Amino acid sequence: MWRGRIKVVNQQKVGVIGGGQLAWMMAIAAQKIGIELSVQAANDQEPAVAIADRVVYGKVSDAKATAKLAEHCPVITFENEFVDLEALQTLENSDRFHHAYHNFKFLPRLATLEISVDKLKQRQHFRDHQIPTPTFYAVDQESDLINAAANLGYPLVLKSRRHGYDGKGTWVIKNVEELQTAWTSIHQAPAIAEAFIPFEQELAVIAARTLHGDIVIYPVVETLQIDQVCRRTIAPARVSPAIAAEVERIAKQIMVSLDAIGVIGIEFFLTASAEVTVNEIAPRTHNSGHYTIEGCHTSQFEQLLRVVSGLPLGDVSMAVPVAIMINLLGTEGYADNDPDYLHQRKAIASFPNTFIHWYGKSSSLGRKLGHVTVCAPTYDTALAISDRIEKIWYGSSQNADTESISNKRFS
C-alpha cells in the first residue's frame, strides 16, 4: 500500500536522526516522492512518529539507536545537531554497514557537521575562507572573557559554542555585570565572544548542494526576531537585487567551502550601509525555510530528500508572489488553558490562502507548536493578514513589536 505516494522503481530508503517537527515535515515530503523514511525518535510523542515508515527509539545522541537505524537505511540525515560526532564517525567507518550497503553514508558529511555544529569552528572557517563574519574571540576561561570584552567593547555578543537554538545560549551583553551573569549561566562552558553588528535587517536563505556539486539557492527572505526567536519570515525579501545577489554569492561560497551535501540554512545581518555579514548556519532544514512548503515549487524538506537519495534537484522558485510564515509559539496561560489552541487555530484557518501546520507537541511557554503560511499577491495583503493572525495568537501587546517593523523597506 502506497498511501498516496508516487510509486518508484527501487524505492529509496532514508533515515533521519530526530523525530520532531522537521522530521515530521520531511516524512510528509517523503510520501509525496515515494521515499521510505525511518526516524530516530526519543519517544512516541514526537511528531514524526505517527507518519514515519519506521521508528527507532533513542535520543539524538544515542549512537546505538543510530546503528539500528542504519540497519534499514544506506543514507542517514539529520533533524538537529545534538549528535555524538565521535560515535557516528565510528559507525560510519564500520565494515558491517559498508558490507551491507557498499556506500553507507551520513549526509551532510560528518566533517561538515563538525564545523557547522560548533560556533567557534564556524567563525574560524568563515575567517579562513574570507567569508564576512563578525570579529570573534574564543572563550575557554574567565581571562579570555575579560580580554574579549576589553577588545570588543560593549555591546558584545556571548554565545555557547554548541547546543544553542531559538535564542538559547546567546546573550547580547551591555555591561560587565551582564557579562558575568551570562558566563555564570552557561557554567563557564566553552563559548565565543563576538562583535555586536548594528544590523538594520536580518536575512536568511536555504541552500542545497548535491554529491555532484550542483547548487540551488532559494529566494532570500527577511526574518523578524522577537526575544531572539524568529516570529516571522517574509519571502522574498524586500531588498535590492544587488543585496540579494550578494547573499546568494556568499551562500554558494559557504556550500562549496564546506563541501556541504544536503540542505543548509544560513542567517545574515544587513547593516544600514548595505554590508552583508554571516550570522550563523544550520546544517539541516531550517525554520526560515518553512514557507517553501506552499511558497515554492519544491519545499526544503523534499529538496533534502532529493539530494540525499540522488534524485534530481527540484525547482526552488516562488510558486506565489509573496509568502509570509508566522511561528506559533506557546503563550502565557496556554491560551486560556486550551493546550491545543483550538479557538485560535479555527480563527486563523478562516483567512484565505492561509495554511496551518500544527506539530502536535505539548504546550509550554515559547515552544514552537506550529506555523502558519500566508500566500498573497502583494506584500501589503500578506502583511495585513499576518498582523491579524499574530493578534489572534499573541494578543495586541505582543503583536505590537512585529507590526512596528512589518512595513520597513530596505534598498
User: Among 399, 408, 257, which Cα is nearest to 328's?
Assistant: 399
CATH 3.30.1490.20 maps onto the chain at 135-195
Annotated ligand binding at 390? The verdict is: no
C-alpha angle with apex 219: 285 to 80, nearest 5 degrees? Answer: 10
Annotated ligand binding at 280? The verdict is: yes
Instruction: Categorize the per-residue pLDDT at 335 as very low, low, confident or very high, splitting at 50, 70 and 90.
Output: low
pLDDT, one tens digit per residue, over 344-378 is 999 999 999 999 999 999 888 889 999 999 999 99
Element at 63 (helix H, strand E): helix 63-70
CATH 3.40.50.20 maps onto the chain at 13-106
pLDDT, one tens digit per residue, over 103-156 is 788 999 999 999 999 999 999 999 999 999 999 999 999 999 999 999 999 999
User: Does residue 9 surpass a pLDDT of 50?
Assistant: no
Cβ 385 vs Cβ 350: under 8 Å: no
In DSSP terms, 195 is beta-bridged to 156
Instruction: Categorize the per-residue pLDDT at 398 as very low, low, confident or very high, splitting at 50, 70 and 90.
Output: low
Residues 6+ apart with CB under 8 A from 315: 296, 297, 298
Annotated ligand binding at 267? The verdict is: no
Annotated ligand binding at 197? The verdict is: yes
Share of the chain above pLDDT 90, in %: 78
Measured in Å, how far apart are the chain's first and last C-alpha atoms? 52
Element at 334 (helix H, strand E): helix 334-337
Average pLDDT over residues 165-182: 86
Query: The C-alpha cell of 300 is what?
Result: 526544503
> Class of the 13-106 domain?
alpha beta
User: Does residue 159 surpass a pLDDT of 50?
Assistant: yes
CATH 3.30.470.20 maps onto the chain at 199-406
Distance CA(19)–CA(44), nearest Å, equals: 9
Query: 199-406: which CATH number, 3.30.470.20, 3.40.1280.10, 1.10.390.10, 3.40.50.300?
Result: 3.30.470.20
* Full-model pTM: 0.92
Cβ 221 vs Cβ 291: under 8 Å: yes
302 in the Ramachandran plot: left (φ > 0), alpha (ψ -120 to 50) or beta?
alpha
Q: Residues, the chain, total?
A: 411
C-alpha angle with apex 39: 35 to 41, nearest 5 degrees? Answer: 160
Average pLDDT over residues 86-104: 75
Annotated ligand binding at 121? The verdict is: no
In DSSP terms, 115 is beta-bridged to none
Fold that domain 135-195 belongs to in CATH: Dna Ligase; domain 1 (3.30.1490)
User: Does residue 401 surpass a pLDDT of 70?
Assistant: no
Annotated ligand binding at 196? The verdict is: yes
